[in-house]
Amino acid sequence: MSEAKMNPANLPDAYNKDELEGQAYTDTLSFDDSVIEKIAGITAREIPGILDMKGNFMTGITENFTSGPNVTKGISAEVKERDVSIDVKLILEFGASAPEIFAEMKDRVRSQLQQMTGLNLRELNVRVVDVMTRKEYDKQSRDSRENNAYRQGNPPRAY
């Protein structure tokens, strides 16, 4: 977890400064790794050319029992002091430029992390684990949703 120290002299006037004199305070602002993963995941999914993130077996099971997609799927983050390292596994849309997407992801994630947390992106590692056309991906997603519905006892209705 990351900790950002705050100066007690900058506390709101509601605090009695006489009581603060001579006492050591350590105020902290910290972020769980999962928060950083969520920020990176939401930001990355907004980039054209990224079809999805690729999770592991457990994220697949988790998605089967939740109401929506897991935005941290395929993303792991580590926070040390004020620096963040992020690893991403993604599915690239066929025809998209991986180097351009990488550069855009790095810029967007760095900016969003800095703005929301004050933390610095020290390292971004992206691994392209699959390439698909949009049509292939949409079909695979639709088939997966239908299979999950059957497993949960809610087969799709025929119209």
**Encoding tokens for residue 149?**
């519905």
Give the CATH superfamily of 33-55+71-152.
Answer: Cation efflux protein, cytoplasmic domain (3.30.70.1350)
Burial, 142: exposed, middle or buried (Cβ in 10 Å; 0-12, 13-18, 19+)? exposed
Please report the pLDDT score of residue 24 as a whole number.
78
- Per-residue pLDDT 10s for the chain (159 aa) are 544 444 455 455 555 555 566 677 889 999 999 999 999 999 999 999 999 999 754 444 445 455 567 899 999 999 998 999 999 999 999 999 999 999 999 999 999 999 999 999 999 999 999 999 999 999 998 877 766 655 556 655 555
pLDDT given for residue 19 in this prediction: 56
Q: 135 near 99, Cβ under 8 Å?
A: no
Supply the DSSP string of 23-60, one letter for each residue. Answer: ----EEE---HHHHHHHHHHHHHTSTTEEEE---HHHH
DSSP 8-state assignment for residue 11: S
Domain boundaries, the chain: 33-55+71-152
Is the pTM for the entire model greater than 0.85?
no
Q: Are 49 and 91 in contact (CB under 8 A)?
A: no
Answer whether 31's CB lies under 8 Å from 2's CB.
Answer: yes
Residue 156: per-residue pLDDT: 56
